[in-house]
Amino acid sequence: MSENPFIQALLISFAMAIFMVGMAMGIMQIVTTGSNPVPYAIILLVFAIIFILGSVFFEKRGADEVGSIVGAALVSSVSTFSIISFLGGLSFAFNDGLFSIGWNRLVSALAICMIVSMLVVKFFSYRVQNQYS
């Protein structure tokens, strides 16, 4: 990655915005079709892997057993939903869904998500910086 802070901020913001737009399109596809883009067995496997990693992460950070399990369940639920909805967005995009949205809406959504992602990155970097200084 480049050492230029402008390019770093732009790349991080763009990548997060692409993920957010993909999630939004995935949610649109799941709601309109009423079906999951990924089989339930794969969803459960993704949840299980993130749950195990999350519980170990929280336990190593000093959480007790119940806290690490609750934290891991919350993180794995949100992460699994995000991943599945993004995959649904990819499916939506590859099945000519982008043309039904229109380029103006797609570019506007991307721009809004880039602004939101930059605000999120700045907020969390500020919180981490104040917490550990």
Average pLDDT score over residue span 10-37: 90
pTM value?
Answer: 0.80
Q: What's the Rg (C-alpha) of the chain?
A: 18
Tens digits of per-residue pLDDT, 52-96? 999 999 999 888 889 899 999 999 999 999 999 999 999 888 887
pLDDT (0 to 100) of residue 1: 58
Domain that residue 107 falls in: 5-131
Q: How confident is the model at residue 117 (pLDDT cuts 50, 70, 90)?
A: very high
pLDDT (0 to 100) of residue 131: 67
pLDDT (0 to 100) of residue 114: 94
Chain mean pLDDT for the chain: 89
Residue 132 pLDDT > 70, yes or no?
Answer: no
Q: How many domains does the chain have?
A: 1
